[in-house]
Amino acid sequence: MAEKEVLARPWWLLPVGRVHPVWWIAIGAAFVAVDYLSGSGTQFPTLYVLPVSLAAWYSGRWPALGLAVGVPLFHIVFLSLAAPDGAGTIPIVMTIARSAIICVMALWFARLSEHERQLHRYVVKLEGLLPICAFCKSIRNEAGDWESLEGFISTRSDADFSHGLCPTCMKHHYKAH
């Protein structure tokens, strides 16, 4: 008997889960510290796109936007303190531009994450052979009891049923033309 094939999650897709938003404050503080220690001449704000993307994926839109705005804000304060004579204007403008782009990326990743979570809620797959009665269409469950097709599927998925008659049954059972 062949083993059941299991679809593996693609390597490039992040695992499903949630991370408490407080962790992103700690990560943002670490990035600010590294930014401060590396000096004002670095282009460090571009590196925080990874934690912003991960915050968007694992914690949602608001923690990601907080990180995408908070870290550059501290970088701007640091640049202002390092170059008080106005020489830091161009790096400040570039930091604001990078922050805007990373905010858009954060919103995109958050939406992508929400979309995947919605897919997980709506996609339910029944697998294997179902022992079904050829006459009444009842299905034998794991306990060996027979239950209606509608009941069996409803308890194992989010599917709801409405009842009607197909044209063939309508003609056969009600002699309708």
Higher pLDDT pick, 160 / 103: 103
Block residue for tokens 């590196």: 47
Nearest to 30 by CA among 66, 67, 78: 67
Which pLDDT score is estimated for 152? 87
Confidence category of residue 2, pLDDT binned at 50, 70, 90? very low
169 Cβ contact list (under 8 Å, min separation 6)? none
Whole-number Cα distances in Å, 74 to 35, 45, 47: 9, 10, 15
Confidence category of residue 103, pLDDT binned at 50, 70, 90? very high
Please state whether the predicted TM-score (pTM) of the whole model is above 0.85: no
Q: Determine what percent of the chain is predicted with pLDDT higher than 90.
A: 8
Residue 132 DSSP class = B
User: What percent of the residues of the chain are helix, what percent strand, and what percent coil, each to the nearest 5?
Assistant: 60, 5, 40
- Three-class secondary structure of residue 167 per DSSP: helix
